[in-house]
Structures are given as structure tokens and as C-alpha cells.
Amino acid sequence: MNDSAVLVRISGRVQGVSFRIWTQREARRLGLNGWVRNERDGSVSALISGPEEAVTSMLDAFWQGPPGCEVRSVVQETASPADASAGFNITA
């Protein structure tokens, strides 16, 4: 199975609802590498990298998110797996 990487921006009510902590927990559960951070415009960005099936599962999970969030959009673009460091971290 090939590894893939995706840079994602999640918009809606996604700050102040533990979205980053939830993302880190889900990503680690799926064995993904990368990072998640809040953006100034109120969105959350994440780089997720790992087995294609796990990346797809995480992209689907972003639409659900943690309790209290309201996801309006999940925009993704292809990234390089080399851009993701080992493990999954909250960067800001």
C-alpha cells in the first residue's frame, strides 16, 4: 500500500471545541504522521500522511469532528509525505 499526504483546511466552528486535540488523537489512532494548527481566519489546517486507507479515513472523520464543532468545508490538496515529520503534533 502506498503512502499519501494531504494538506487540509477545515472551516466552520472548529476553534475552541478541542478540534486540534481530537485530530491528534484520531491521527495517532490511525497511525498517521503530520501536524494540526489553528489559523488566524478561524479555520484549522492539518498535514496528514500515511497509508492511503488511513488518510481517507481521516479525511472522512474531519467532517464529523469532535462534539460541539460545526464543519462547513474540508478543502484538501496533495502534499508530499516527506513534509510530515514522524508522529502527529499540534504545532500552534
Of 15, 24, 8, 13, nearest to 56 (Cα)?
A: 8
Residues 9, 13, 37, 38: which is the catalytic one?
38
- Terminal C-alpha separation, the chain: 31
| 40 catalytically annotated | no
Residues 20, 25, 28, 89: which is the catalytic one?
20
| 20 catalytically annotated | yes
d(CA 20, CA 62): 11
Q: Which residues are catalytic?
A: 20, 38
